[in-house]
Chains A and B, each alone.
Chain A
Amino acid sequence: MSHFIKKALTDIRLNRFLNLVTIFTISLSILVVSVFLLFFENAGRVIEAWNQGGRAMIYLKDNFTMDMLPELKKKISSLGNINEIVFISKDEALERLRKEISLNSDFLKTLQGNPLPDAFEIKMKSYSRIEEVEGFAQKIKEIEIVDDVEYGQGWLGKFLKIFNLFKITGYAMSGLFFLVALFITSNTVRLAFYSRKLEVEIMRLVGATETFIKAPFYVEGLLQGFLGGVLGLVILLITYLMVSSGMTQGLSSYVYFDIRFLSIQTIILIIFISTFLGWFGCYLSLKQILK
């Protein structure tokens, strides 16, 4: 094995330019895939966080009376998927509002009556899909006394739309770059093979097996894939460190915004995929040349 690794390293050194182009192409492809994975991982965490601590407000109509409360609470609870249900009367809601805005607010002094509705604040169990939340909200809305249900559907819907758009784009771009990298890798192996045609012919004449002849090409492909993957991730890490610190500082006064780098499992998966890419490119090329 050490012979093959030594041989592959020598060949990479001798065909430096060609190998650098291949490694760089693989790294570019890996970078594109990794950017999408970085987005998916972080977006996934946002969705997961929302799912686990998801709150919803159920606003009731004006004709609600307190004697309806026990039965209504029972009805809502029976729909399931609720961890906690708390009734907030219109008076309590106004009191909260007063505390939140300001004790001496002129706006609240000018109010005649209480414009706020009676409501339930519910803490939902986790959902795997937004459609489930929508279905649940719809069931609550169908209760006659319920006026509206608010569960952050506006921003969540938009976020999920962007998320899905990125997902489709991510798949398409990743697939495209994967094919490009595969094409480049297999072409590099093909060029390397043709540049060493005499060497291969001599190896056969002196009794080398096909495995002995092919192994350095495979090792070269694996090394190209591995190095391309590592380089792609290093570029992503540098970009991440530069962009995320600026972004976090800029947004910290408005919202808690925590972008994390790829998990160890994802990093290992990416390096495995890029190494496989190098090997597969080599396999396709040699299969075609030696058929």
Chain B
Amino acid sequence: MIQDIKKNSIIRLFNVSKRYNGKFALKDVNLDIEQGEFILISGPSGAGKSTLLKVLYLAEKVSEGQILIDGMNLARISSSRLPLLRRRFGMVFQDFKLIPNRTVYENVALVLEAAGEKTDYIRKKVMQVLRTTDMDKKAKALPPTLSGGEQQRVAVARAIVGEPSIILADEPTGSLDIKSAQAVLDVIMAYHKKGATVLIASHNLHLLESSVRGRNIEITEGTINRTATML
């Protein structure tokens, strides 16, 4: 089955299951995502959307099955190579996950510092991304002083600053008003248009379904229930 990988597949899941205390959060999931594809993972709360993203960036290990990211088998990744895998992803969370006592600039720069980039490059790149997300004027602000929408734009800036090939967003607009949500999605969509693969887990469909070409994967009780093409 593993030999049957499509040439431009970037993510492949083979019979992936994840159990918590014997209860399935994901059950026998098979999925093939191509480079540059846009995937909306939908479903009710507790369906397994977040778990699916977590097993991809190895925040959780699968109970059964295998996952390939760009040909790399996650089951065989050593802890020393895990950071390299994570740098392929840009992640956005509903609760932003920003460091509260670090400035907007420092939060975004952290990705490049962790990757060992040079200071001059970091300064230039971070400011460029902050301009893209319209947060450059608040570079010196601390996250708690920003609105939810602004914080999420900083989180998106952090997700794209390292130019990852995959964006994983877990309910990125879940706690935002419509205007802020649209601004956040606009930035993600702009990055997707540059060729990045995007997976967004959301139960808030109406903003996305009308504006993007991609696939909607519906999960119910840990199983892929339905796959539909958007637009």
Contact = CB atoms under 8 A, between A and B. Distances in A.
Interface of A: 3, 14, 198-199, 201-210, 212
Interface of B: 57, 59, 79-80, 83-87, 91, 97-102, 110-111, 113-115, 158, 162
- Top 10 nearest A-B pairs (CB, nearest first) are A207-B87, A208-B114, A207-B86, A207-B83, A206-B111, A209-B83, A199-B99, A202-B97, A212-B114, A207-B114
A209 B102 CA distance: 19
Contacts of A210: 79
B101 A206 contact: no
A290 to B, nearest CB: 11
B114 A206 contact: yes
25 contacts: A3-B113, A14-B101, A198-B99, A199-B102, A201-B97, A202-B98, A204-B83, A205-B86, A206-B87, A206-B91, A206-B110, A206-B111, A206-B158, A207-B83, A207-B86, A207-B114, A207-B115, A207-B162, A208-B83, A208-B114, A209-B80, A209-B83, A209-B114, A212-B113, A212-B114
A22 B106 CA distance: 27
Contacts of B84: 207
A73 B113 CA distance: 82
B99 A202 contact: yes
Contacts of A201: 97
Given A3-B113, A209-B114, A212-B114, A204 B97 contact: no
Nearest to B96: A202
Contacts of A202: 97-99, 110
A201 B85 CA distance: 16
A208 B86 CA distance: 8
A198 B87 CA distance: 18
B145 to A, nearest CB: 16
B43 to A, nearest CB: 23
Contacts of B102: 199
Looking at B84, B101, B162, which has the most chain A CB atoms within 10 Å of its CB? B101
Nearest to B116: A212
A219 to B, nearest CB: 14
A211 to B, nearest CB: 10
Contacts of B98: 202
Given A208-B83, A209-B83, A203 B101 contact: no
B228 to A, nearest CB: 30
Nearest to B100: A198
Contacts of A212: 113-114
Contacts of A208: 83, 110, 114
B51 to A, nearest CB: 16
Nearest to A195: B101
Looking at A198, A199, A201, A207, which has the most chain B CB atoms within 10 Å of its CB? A207
A169 B231 CA distance: 83
Given A3-B113, A199-B99, 15 more contacts: A198-B97, A201-B97, A202-B97, A203-B110, A203-B114, A204-B86, A205-B57, A206-B86, A206-B91, A206-B110, A206-B158, A206-B162, A207-B86, A209-B83, A210-B79
A235 B98 CA distance: 42
A146 B160 CA distance: 97
A139 B129 CA distance: 90
A204 B85 CA distance: 11
Contacts of A199: 99, 102
Nearest to A201: B97
Looking at A14, A199, A205, A206, which has the most chain B CB atoms within 10 Å of its CB? A206
